[in-house]
Amino acid sequence: MEKKHILVTIPLSQEQRDALEQEGTQVRFRLGEALPSGRGGTLPFPQLLPAEPVTEEDMAWAEAILGNVAPELLKKAPRLEWMQTSSAGVEPYLHPGLLRPETALTNATGAYGLAISEHMLGMLLMVFKKLELYRDAQRREDWASQGQVRTLLGSVVLVMGLGDIGGDFARLCKAMGAYVIGLRRTPGPKPAFVDELHLTGELDSLLPRADVVAVTLPGTPRTRGMLSRERIALMKEGAVLLNVGRGYVVDTEALCDALESGRLGGAGLDVTDPEPLPPGHRLWQLPTAVVTPHVSGGYHLWETHERIAAIFAENLRRFLHGEPLKNQVDPASGYRRRDDST
């Protein structure tokens, strides 16, 4: 039996490499040497490791790709049967003509919920407890109270998107005593970790109720601009907006206006529009905005890296045995198919 050609573009430990070099595979690794075994601070930071460039010859050779490559290179991959991204978002790969219709596309849903939901909670508590204001005061050597703070207990949290990330964040908020409203695009059973479940068509009626609006939506044509100036105006006075989905889901200028006027109580943003946020943008200077440079995911938490590698290994086993793949993406919607084998 001829071996499948597997191109891997993420950093892996030797144990993780061994898991991919199964019988029936011929593997090319494109991130240099294997990582040392272990966890956390003893390891090189994977995102800083120099990658070997993926060549057109690699693309012509590959029958499966594990990891993200420059989208334009996919046009040089006539044999590609399957692409497994290391990201949850796949919008760069959905443009017509990049992938052949018969090429399966799967994502890393299930890897990021822990890291990003904890990052969201950290940003939210920072705003609720005015820690960002105290940080600014610390730099001024200003020993003064910043006034009353808030609690998640009894707060109404609206989570826009109940996938891996939104679901984990909803669980955290529920555990801390919040009243959680979940928003999804298609009907389905109500998870135990939300108090109410609604469809996206009901968003306008939910925004005025929420003390916290948390955006975990992927980037698709339907989500672009979903939190428009008009919808930001519907938000409850003093509400906090969190966004870890895509920056362009939110009207940035409208958000800045609402923060500057004090109508919104704060924002925690790991994604922005534009991104990267350019020097001089007023969002940098807004005291109630907590901005991080799209770092809640990635490999900043080692557990995320391990989860990505485990998804790769499991899906490779399925690929080699002709079984349904996990996390298959519907190219038309940009969302993971719910009827895949998960």
**Cα–Cα–Cα angle for 255, 257, 263, nearest 5°?**
85
Do residues 331 and 94 lie in contact, with contact meaning Cβ atoms separated by under 8 Å? yes
Phi then psi for 256, rounded to 5 degrees?
-60, -40
Question: What stretches of 59-195 adopt beta strand conformation (E)?
Answer: 64-66, 82-84, 104-106, 156-160, 179-184
User: Closest Cα partner for 183 from 249, 268, 119?
Assistant: 249
Distance separating alpha carbons of residues 221 and 224, to the nearest angstrom? 5
Structure tokens that stand for 15 in this block: 């144990």
- 274 preceded by a cis bond (ω within 30 of 0): yes
**Residue 141: Cβ within 10 Å count:** 6
Structure tokens that stand for 105 in this block: 């596309």
- 208 preceded by a cis bond (ω within 30 of 0): no
User: Closest Cα partner for 341 from 98, 110, 80, 71?
Assistant: 110
State the amino acid at position 84 in one-letter form: Q
User: Closest Cα partner for 111 from 149, 163, 71, 175?
Assistant: 163
Do residues 165 and 117 lie in contact, with contact meaning Cβ atoms separated by under 8 Å? yes
Do residues 142 and 174 lie in contact, with contact meaning Cβ atoms separated by under 8 Å? no
Annotation says 294 is catalytic: yes
The residue with tokens 């996990």 is 326
Do residues 323 and 7 lie in contact, with contact meaning Cβ atoms separated by under 8 Å? no
Q: Which of 5, 119, 281, 294 is catalytic?
A: 294
Do residues 69 and 45 lie in contact, with contact meaning Cβ atoms separated by under 8 Å? no
Question: What stretches of the chain adopt beta strand conformation (E)?
Answer: 4-8, 25-29, 64-66, 82-84, 104-106, 156-160, 179-184, 196-199, 212-215, 240-243, 266-269, 289-291
**Residues labelled as active-site residues:** 294
